[in-house]
Amino acid sequence: MNVNIVVLAGDGIGPEVTAEAVKVLNAVAGNFGHSFTFDAQLMGGCAIDATGSSLPDATVAACRAADAVLLGAVGGPKWDNPQAADRPERGLLAIRKELNLFANLRPVKLQPQLIDASTLKREVLEGVDLLVIRELTGGAYFGPRKEAGPDGDEAYDTMLYTREEIRRVVKLAAEAAVLRRGKLASVDKANVLASSRLWRRVATEVLAEYPALHVEHVLVDAMAMHLIRRPATFDVIVAENLFGDILTDEASMLAGSMGMLPSASLGDQLNAHHLPRGMYEPIHGSAPDIAGKSIANPLGTILSAAMLLRHSLGLETEAAAIETAVERVLDDGVRTGDIAQPGMETVGTVIMGDLVVAKLR
Ligand code: IPM
Ligand code: MG
């Protein structure tokens, strides 16, 4: 298969972790007889420095022409000035919108080898296997806003949703739940927010078409508690943009480290293989404090590359090969610093990538 992948390495540790994922994808291409072409493009702080824009037009055009996009991370203290006209994060939100990536899939699966790397108790974590689906192009991130100017004392964001925006993401979550353990929790704050009452009404309508699913509607504050009290009782969780952002950072701690977790952002635009042109990225940020030291955990990005093969290319065998290789490296007792455990070997970013490639052979 001939595949064109845009790589947005971004800022901080982004270039370090994407380099390892590209290395792993090249190994997969060699093993399975595919041809993967990688097209490096600018987005985020590095794009502001080079072009003055966090999302240059050339990047958008390249992404639209690609089969899939692999992203590292964006942002850092260098671009943190709140008065700045552009910010790295704006580029990320804009590319999500440009590609209409309305569903962000964040699987949270505890690798049993890492159960003691978590801050939570073993008995709480046993059996955790969640798929959080976060709505990604609506809500307060994109609704009308007023920014307090230099002497303004008022600002607001608007959590705006339309029926269609809710319908399509809840339907995608329901289809995912059917293929998993048949349970779906829809998150909202319907006791207070109007947009959440619409969310619950539309979700209830959509889910009526899936009578075999076990459905529950959970208030977001209660969900924050349930996630660390009984995480193994959930299967698929669907939430609006901001709630999903917050809940997935919390849920990542169930897997031991944010560094382990991949994500896929999917929409309705199809690539040359008639599959969603997705964007794939680890859920961690650019971690400027450890950038350039080659100690970041590349496994979240490597596992994102596996999701890319599965969702944008339909290469299930190849995707599973990467996931198995990662498990086998962990079985060998090798760890990066973020998941370091007593008695195990701690390695850097590049060695971890090399070890995954070695297991693929
Ligand atoms: C994420 C990040 C982004 C978000 C930031 C970097 C804009 O936290 O992907 O979860 O809030 O969506
Ligand atoms: Mg986040």
Which CATH topology does 118-255 take?
Isopropylmalate Dehydrogenase (3.40.718)
* Smallest-distance ligand from the CA of 93: 1
Residues framing ligand 1 (Cβ under 6 A):
75, 89, 92, 245
E strand or H helix at 294: none
Instruction: Give the model's pLDDT for residue 276.
Output: 97
Indicate the domain borders of the chain.
1-102+268-361, 118-255
Mean pLDDT for the stretch of residues 88-94:
97
Say what the pTM is.
Answer: 0.96
Q: Please give the Cα distance from 224 to 207 (Å, whole number).
A: 23
C-beta of residue 110 within 8 angstroms of C-beta of residue 123: no
The gap from C-alpha 202 to its chain's centroid, in whole angstroms, comes to 25
Band the pLDDT of 83: cuts 50, 70, 90.
confident
Q: Please give the Cα distance from 295 to 349 (Å, whole number).
A: 5
Catalytic: 11? Answer: no
Class assignment of domain 1-102+268-361? alpha beta
85 CA to centre of ligand 2 in angstroms: 22
Question: Environment class of residue 253 by beta-carbon count within 10 Å: exposed (0-12), middle (13-18) or buried (19+)?
Answer: middle
Shared fold status for 1-102+268-361 and 118-255: yes
Q: Please give the Cα distance from 97 to 99 (Å, whole number).
A: 5
325 CA to centre of ligand 1 in angstroms: 28
For the stretch 267-325, pLDDT in tens is: 999 999 999 999 999 999 999 999 999 999 999 999 999 999 999 999 999 999 999 99
Band the pLDDT of 162: cuts 50, 70, 90.
very high
